[in-house]
A and B are shown apart, each in its own frame.
Chain A
Amino acid sequence: AQKVTQAQTEISVVEKEDVTLDCVYETRDTTYYLFWYKQPPSGELVFLIRRNSFDEQNEISGRYSWNFQKSTSSFNFTITASQVVDSAVYFCALMTTDSWGKLQFGAGTQVVVTP
């Protein structure tokens, strides 16, 4: 069975603070892909990153960074120096090669950034 857990329901920060979103996944497949999507109030899911199970290198893109650790089945996401425009729901998702195309999403974490 595959599962994605985002234990944090909502995180509130003041602008310029850093915020880390946790994502823990479960799968028996050895080949899989992990994703993060952002869903702003407009509702449209916006792709942020894709990582495959063989690439454990951490990644940084501007103020965003991701920490993938297979040993703990986690794929955490950090926003550095948060801005009001970062306010959104963030989803972690898993796709395995046995169920290609089927994104398994977590429940999401609502991030609220106040000025």
Chain B
Amino acid sequence: GAGVSQSPRYKVAKRGQDVALRCDPISGHVSLFWYQQALGQGPEFLTYFQNEAQLDKSGLPSDRFFAERPEGSVSTLKIQRTQQEDSAVYLCASSPRTGEGIDEQFFGPGTRLTVL
């Protein structure tokens, strides 16, 4: 498949544990986005990469959240010392171009994180 893939699809963590969520964007896509979707809500923007540069991280809710994309392809969203309020679906999206045009964002299936 050529779509955005995310792993794991489901993650259960005990409060206080660290977790790492992976996103494989569509090959060749320059831009990569992370969103958080709470139950019954619309996705909320977390952060955005253009290649390996993190251009906007204004949506990260706290300094426990960290994202990286070191080689400009795969990205990892890390959450340290997880709290119950971190329970949500984490969506990754990619798009082919940069700011010269507004492209649709192609979304992955998400990782459902449950913090006990």
Chain A residues with Cβ below 8 Å from B96 are none
A95 contacts B109, C-beta separation under 8 Å: no
Q: Which of the residues B42, B91, B104, B107 comes within 8 Å of A108, measured between beta carbons? A: B42
Chain B residues with Cβ below 8 Å from A101 are 31, 33, 48, 55-56, 95, 99
A44 contacts B45, C-beta separation under 8 Å: no
Question: How many chain A residues have a CB neighbour from B under 8 Å?
Answer: 25
Could you count the A-B residue pairs with CB atoms below 8 Å apart for me: how many are there? 58
Chain B residues with Cβ below 8 Å from A104 are 45
Q: Which of the residues B31, B43, B59, B102 comes within 8 Å of A33, measured between beta carbons? A: B102
**A42 to B108 alpha-carbon distance, docked (Å):** 11
Query: Which stretch in A14-22, A45-53, A62-70, A76-84 binds the other chain?
Result: A45-53
Q: Which of the residues A35, A45, A103, A106 comes within 8 Å of B45, measured between beta carbons? A: A103
Q: Which of the residues B41, B45, B106, B110 comes within 8 Å of A102, measured between beta carbons? A: B45
Shortest C-beta distance, B99 to chain A (Å), equals: 5
> CB within 8 Å of B: which residues of A?
4, 33, 35, 37, 42-47, 50, 52, 91, 93, 95, 99-108
> CB within 8 Å of A: which residues of B?
31, 33, 35, 40-45, 48, 55-56, 58-59, 89, 91, 93, 95, 99, 102, 104-110
Instruction: Please give 14 more A-B residue pairs, beta carbons under 8 A apart, in addition to A4-B42, A43-B109.
Output: A42-B109, A43-B110, A50-B102, A50-B104, A91-B43, A99-B56, A101-B48, A101-B55, A102-B48, A102-B58, A105-B42, A105-B44, A107-B40, A108-B41
